[in-house]
Structure 1
């Protein structure tokens, strides 16, 4: 409901719709006892999920899984359909931010590598979904994390 409203308001006021990104909500454990893997952003060190731009020649879920590998060293089974979306402002070097909409895919972790492309640039840690929800800056992402804890995803 709010996604359509935001897009219509953006168009009404001459702003472009948000840029699309893909993200992986990396989980382990069984329902009711799940944990989610969070990583730190490179710039601010905030807790986030692995995310990035869609990739030519890959579906959105496949691109989310690739981002999970590059940013968190995760391999596993990614769901083909998104579990939700959230919005944030991607900070730019010039001092402004670009509005982004992240399409989130659930990834069940099979393997966690010790060496991966962004090993030296990020920290990673497992959290209970409610704890992770308290750490993120994006309310819509927090809501997705809370749904995971309540077995709605």
Structure 2
């Protein structure tokens, strides 16, 4: 029986596809008067759960450029995404045919410079600025929860990071 379980596990691994890749923007701002860090969350179009803007690779665009584009389309924000990824998380995307596929999301930090009133998905989503802790509570994906809390710590500790780069 052990042999059959191992064999079934090996066959499952051989047939399992590697995760598909998406790119995301962790959009943030620092409230000038309070010096408070805020994260922008959006609702997903299909289930209404809280997410960060993300999307599939685009021909001719680098990962951070895709993150910028998704931030504009899904949340109506403009800014420059960092070229280096901040981190990664995984989730299972349900396709229109009902199949669930594994997805690996590469997250890029994006400091919001401009909020637009008109953007492609404004009618399909709700947006909210929240603290890192609140953002971590609202999202479903455990690895994304961890990234949101790690980001708060990164912004709190001195050293190279988004705040120091701006000061120079």
When normalised by structure 1's length, the TM-score is 0.88
Gaps of 5+ in 2: 1-8, 156-160, 162-168
Name the counterpart of 2:133: 130
**Higher relative CO (CA 8 A, sep ≥ 6), structure 1 or 2?**
1
Cα deviation for residue 96 of structure 1 reads 1.9
Runs of at least 4 residues of structure 1 off by over 3 A? 9-12
Q: Which has the larger radius of gyration?
A: 2
Cα deviation for residue 151 of structure 1 reads 2.2
Q: Describe the SS at the equivalent of 2:154.
A: coil
Tell me, in whole angstroms, the C-alpha distance in 1 between the residues paired with 2:149 and 2:135: 9
Note the alpha carbon deviations across 1:8-50, whole angstroms, 9 max, x for none: x9997121110000000000007x7311000000000000000
Tell me, in whole angstroms, the C-alpha distance in 1 between the residues paired with 2:11 and 2:106: 20
Note the alpha carbon deviations across 1:65-93, whole angstroms, 9 max, x for none: 00000000010121010000000011112
| Aligned: 1:22 with 2:23 | yes
Gaps of 5+ in 1: 1-8
CA RMSD of aligned residues (A): 1.9
Tell me, in whole angstroms, the C-alpha distance in 1 between the residues paired with 2:87 and 2:129: 21
Q: Describe the SS at the equivalent of 1:75.
A: strand
Q: 1:17 to 1:40 in 2, by over 3 A?
A: same
